[in-house]
Amino acid sequence: MPPVRRKPWAAVLQATNYGQICPQTGGARTGGLIEGEDCLNLNIWSADPGASGMPVMVWVHGGGQISGSGANAIYDGSNFARDGVVLVTCNRRLGAEGFLYLEELFGDGVGTGNLGMQDLACVLQWLADNIKSFGGDPNNITLFGESGGAAAIQAMIATPGASGLVNRAILQSGGHSAQRPATAKEIARLVTNQLGIKRGDLNALKRVPWRQFVDLYPELSERPDLGQPQIYQPVLNEHMPIHPVDATFSGIGLDVDYLIGTCRDEANFFSWLVELEGSQFDRRARQVIEAAGANFSDVLARYGELRPDLDKEGRFSAVLGDMWFRIPSLRIAEGHRQHSARSTYMYLFEWASPILGAAHTLDLMVFGNGLPLADMSGFKDFEKTAAFMRKAWVDFAHTGHPKADGQLWPSYAQQRATLSIDDSPALIPLSYSQQFPMLEKAVTTHWGDAGL
């Protein structure tokens, strides 16, 4: 069901410890935090609750819509608060709890396939009513997130009813995609059949412990025909009729300032975890390249020309990472550049660890709390780059423009300018369309129509 705000209380509510985190379908470590269904909570860092008018930055955690929480230690908001914003982290329902599409089986309003997006909207509605008590400005809200968090932000922006709840968005390495109704219905039927729940028996559905939904996930994830490209993600239906990647081309999100970027070597992180060849990353990359009317081998060859430092495996990894993360990010930026009068900024994170390069998740250094893969970073110093990012992010929250330490950062509207974020930030001389002209169609094509 849609999220419900907690009823007012009479006594003092102790809110000095993290609450429950949402069930972790991906089996991620919870660090001793308790998983449970009463998990819709948020955390606030404010340097001065007695102040007024401070920008509010709301962090939306990653984890591919199956794991993660706002209580991860790396998301501690102390540094952001000291830099002059009110920092909020939050939870949203994940896995089946947030994205199982049950309306066909149980009626309108039950399992809309986008409950995780409704949870984010509920967070923003709560902040509109309450963030003044923490020194925040309810009329200056910046949503920012990484990976699945960035994808969730864009999906929420594409959801009717979310308009006006967010002023700015920072999308870090978003793997933007959507589930089709036909596939979503098939997943729902498989899950309910496995659990022995008959169509329309809502009481039986409610009695199922959340752990049983989690335990079914490994079996579902072994079915490459089910995910588009993943099992649990926002569903294209009346609740989110526009593919998130198409939103800006469809006039949605044009009242939002955007700062969008990806990491240069995204897939290096995943190559450390899984065999990339034949994986969902491989399948998705080929889908995107086919939609562009390009040839996979030609794309690999072009990567070899532009990045001669990469071996065959490195080129393959680079292509997969860009097709999953960078191409959809560029499409969102391109639509916003063409149709919105608000700010559009692009970056490419190129700070490279000695072992993994500029891999997925390393941009989480922006919090200043270390690196998620510290043992893989080769102990390379990241503080300078992290401080630059945080200053740029905070500037963007204040003004809609990421001016950091005097660094020239032109708008993406100006010749599709992109800033390389590294120890020494610099403008990238060629736009992506000039570097990879054979992929331009993937940026300009309608993803909803193309089945992406």
**Does residue 31 carry a pLDDT above 70?**
no
Residue 12 pLDDT level (bands cut at 50, 70, 90): very high
CA atoms within 13 A on the CB side of 187: 35
Span 360-375, average pLDDT: 89
Per-residue confidence (pLDDT) for residue 376, from 0 to 100: 65
Per-residue confidence (pLDDT) for residue 379, from 0 to 100: 65
Quote the pTM value.
Answer: 0.96
Q: Between 325 and 13, where is the model more confident? A: 325
Residue 420 pLDDT level (bands cut at 50, 70, 90): very high
Residue type, 383: E
Instruction: Give the tens place of pLDDT for each residue, 188-210.
Output: 999 999 999 999 999 999 999 99
Can you tell me the distance from the alpha carbon of 292 to that of 452, in angstroms, rounded to the nearest whole number?
A: 11
Catalytic residue among 266, 334, 350, 440: 266
Instruction: Give the tens place of pLDDT for each residue, 139-175.
Output: 999 999 999 999 999 999 999 888 889 999 999 999 9
Instruction: Give the tens place of pLDDT for each residue, 299-332.
Output: 999 999 999 999 999 999 999 999 999 999 999 9
Q: Which of 368, 410, 437 lies closest to 259, judged by CA?
A: 410
**Does residue 28 carry a pLDDT above 70?**
no
Identify whether 186 is a catalytic site residue.
Answer: no
Can you tell me the distance from the alpha carbon of 154 to that of 133, in angstroms, rounded to the nearest whole number?
A: 28
Architecture of domain 42-266+326-450: 3-Layer(aba) Sandwich (3.40)
Identify whether 360 is a catalytic site residue.
Answer: yes
Catalytic residue among 147, 177, 377, 420: 147
Q: What is the mean pLDDT of the chain?
A: 93
Q: What percent of the chain has pLDDT over 90?
A: 86
For residue 234, cis peptide bond before it (omega within 30 degrees of 0): no
Can you tell me the distance from the alpha carbon of 220 to that of 191, in angstroms, rounded to the nearest whole number?
A: 9
**Does residue 378 carry a pLDDT above 70?**
no
Look up residue 393 and give its two tokens: 């992010």
Look up residue 247 and give its two tokens: 């939103």
Identify whether 147 is a catalytic site residue.
Answer: yes
Per-residue confidence (pLDDT) for residue 170, from 0 to 100: 98
Per-residue confidence (pLDDT) for residue 29, from 0 to 100: 59
Residues 6+ apart with CB under 8 A from 270: 276, 279, 281, 320, 321, 360
Per-residue confidence (pLDDT) for residue 380, from 0 to 100: 75
Catalytic residue among 69, 350, 360, 420: 360
Span 116-121, average pLDDT: 95
Enumerate the domain spans of the chain: 42-266+326-450
Per-residue confidence (pLDDT) for residue 306, from 0 to 100: 95
Residue 225 pLDDT level (bands cut at 50, 70, 90): confident
